[in-house]
Each structure stands twice: as structure tokens, then as C-alpha cells.
Chains A and B, each alone.
Chain A
Amino acid sequence: MELTEAQLDALKEIANIGISRAATQLSLLLSDKIVMNVPNARITLLSEASKTLNTTDEDMAVVYQDLSGELAGRAHLVLNTEESKVLVHALLGNVPTLSGADLLAYEHEAMTEIGNIVISTCISTLGNLLDGEIFLTVPTYSEKSALDMFAGGGKAKDVLIMETVLKATNKNVEGMLVLVLTLESATDLLDMLSGLLDS
């Protein structure tokens, strides 16, 4: 499936609206200015998806939620693992009484909630814009490489990827919001956008 310039532009704009709202909430959460790039949108093989993201082979902190309903796919908030800790401690402060596994569990739990807020805000904005209902699973935290993020979804499958970089300027923390939609959802989304533009 090839996207036309007009379709790409429409996808970037809808992603921009959802992610901008998520960036606003992240800004409130961290009391920091969040700068975001213009979102990228492209159709790619799921097995090739990791190559199109600006990441290294190292494990990253990933919070994801699966989508179903009006749109099907998966939304991810991705951070470098060390930067995710900076983010968590910026939010909750240091907990001197915790160490080792307890501290790790605390950091993962907090990171999961940050991901939940960012992803839910973005997806609910899209749902309302499309006048549809998108169901979200509870958030899952994991540490994996970009390659592993997209493993297991079928190598020959085309997907729509929309992603942008979010940066907390004062805390110097950078993350990515990555939305992966099935090709069927991408087609539906383009139809809905076309309908919205026509109306």
C-alpha cells in the first residue's frame, strides 16, 4: 500500500493532534516544557519497523497498550532505560528507603502510569476526533530492544507506523510515542479522515 502526499499529510495531522494533547498532559505531570517533533507516518513491514525508528540495539523502557475497536494495533511510549528513571524521579522524587528490587519495581510501576497517561490521552483524543470508540488494554511495562518491540507480529505484515519524539527540555529526557496500526485500521482511518475532510 502506497500513501499519497495528501494521505500522509492527513495522518501526520491526526497524529499531531493526539500527541500534542498527550504532550500537554506530560508537561503537567512533570512541570516541564515538552517539545515534540512533527510526527512521521509510513507504511512498512512490521519486521522492518524497528529499522525505521531512531534507536540503538540497546534495551529500552517500553510501556505499551493494545488497541481494538475503531482502530486496532499497539501504542508504545519508549524511553532509554536510564532516562526513564530520571523521568520517574522527576515525578515522584527519590525514595531513600527503597533499594534493589523494590526500587526497580517502584520505578517500573511509576513508568507504567506515565505511559498509561500519555497513551490514553493520545488515543482518547483520536477516538473523539474520529467519533468512534477505541478500547485499550491495561498498560504493560517491559525492557526490550526496538527489534524485540515488533517481534511476534508476523513478518510479512504491513503496518502503519506513526511516531514522534517528545523531549522534556529542563530534565533533558527524550522519549518516543509510537503508534502501530494494522493495515485494515490504516485504511479505515484514511476513509474516516477523508469523510471528515469532506464534511
Chain B
Amino acid sequence: MRILIVDDSITSRLLFKANLPPGLEVDLDEAGACEGALLKIADNEPDLIFLDYNLPGKNGVEIARAIRAAGCQGKFVLLTANLQNSIVDEAKEVGFVAVLEKPITRENVEYILSEIG
């Protein structure tokens, strides 16, 4: 499974990697913002894209739009502690299939992957 995580926090990306289920074969790419994410998808189209919401520049939902416009068909998962209804609704409109609430835990990651992976 190819996964791209887009989060400006190195810590958050580190926690995501640390909480992937052991033994799961994952080809993981990372980006800190929109430009990096678009470069990564051009190189290696992901099946799943985990996007933080609150990022410098474009937010996670805006990046998802840009990724989709670039032709990537991967599924989007919102990765955030900011679970305001307005944000979750905005994400759903753009086609996000799930929300992974921060802090990232093994249990949460396993659940998301089992549901949509």
C-alpha cells in the first residue's frame, strides 16, 4: 500500500510512522505542505493520503483539491485535532473518506486502515 502523509509537523509524521501496524507493507512518502505533496504524487501515486488540516499556506482540504486536480485518485483521510463540524463537513464535500483524530494512536491507525485501506 502506498501512503502519503502531509503534515508540517515532523513530530506528527514521526508518530504516524511509529503507529503503523507492525508487519504492514507500506511505501510511505511524506510532505510538509502542498508543493511537496504535489511533487510526491507525481513521483509515486499514493492509495491513501493523510492530510493535516491546519498547515502553513493551503489547508488540508485545499491541498486535497489540488491533488485531485492533478489527477491523483487516492483516498483522502483528514488528520487533525480540530474536529469542528464545519471542517469535517468541508472535508466530506471534497471527498475525504475518514478522519484520523490527533493524537495519532496505533488503535486509530489500525481502525482507519482496516476500514478503508
Contact = CB atoms under 8 A, between A and B. Distances in A.
Interface of A: 25, 28-29, 91-92, 106, 109-110, 112-114, 116-118, 120-121, 123-124, 127-128, 131, 133-134, 136-139
B72 interface: no
A172 B25 CA distance: 38
Contacts of A91: 11, 15
A124 B102 contact: no
A142 to B, nearest CB: 16
B103 A117 contact: yes
B26 interface: no
Interface residues of B, number: 22
Main secondary structure of the interface of B (DSSP, over half): loop
Contact of A128 (B12, B85, B105): B85
A182 B11 CA distance: 32
Contacts of A121: 81-83, 102
Nearest to B101: A25
Contacts of B82: 120-121, 123-124, 136
A121 B102 CA distance: 9
Contacts, number: 65
Contacts of A131: 85
Interface of B: 8-12, 14-15, 54-56, 80-87, 101-103, 105
B85 A28 contact: no
B12 A113 contact: yes
- The list of the 5 closest CB pairs from A to B, nearest first, reads A120-B81, A29-B103, A113-B11, A120-B82, A127-B84
Nearest to B57: A138
Nearest to A29: B103
Contact of B9 (A116, A127, A133, A137): A116
Contact of B86 (A28, A123, A127, A137): A127
Given A28-B105, A29-B103, A120-B54, A133 B8 contact: no
Contacts of A138: 8, 54-56
Contacts of A124: 81-84, 87
B11 A110 contact: yes
A120 B52 CA distance: 12
A139 B103 CA distance: 16
Nearest to A133: B86
A110 to B, nearest CB: 4
Contacts of A137: 54
Nearest to B87: A124
Contact of B83 (A110, A112, A128): A128
Given A29-B103, A116-B54, A120-B54, A134 B84 contact: yes
B15 to A, nearest CB: 8
Contacts of B54: 116, 120, 136-139
Given A110-B11, A116-B81, A117-B81, A25 B103 contact: yes
27 contacts: A25-B103, A92-B11, A92-B14, A106-B10, A109-B10, A109-B11, A112-B11, A113-B9, A116-B81, A116-B102, A117-B81, A117-B102, A117-B103, A120-B54, A120-B82, A123-B82, A124-B82, A124-B83, A124-B84, A127-B85, A128-B84, A133-B84, A133-B86, A134-B84, A138-B8, A138-B54, A138-B55
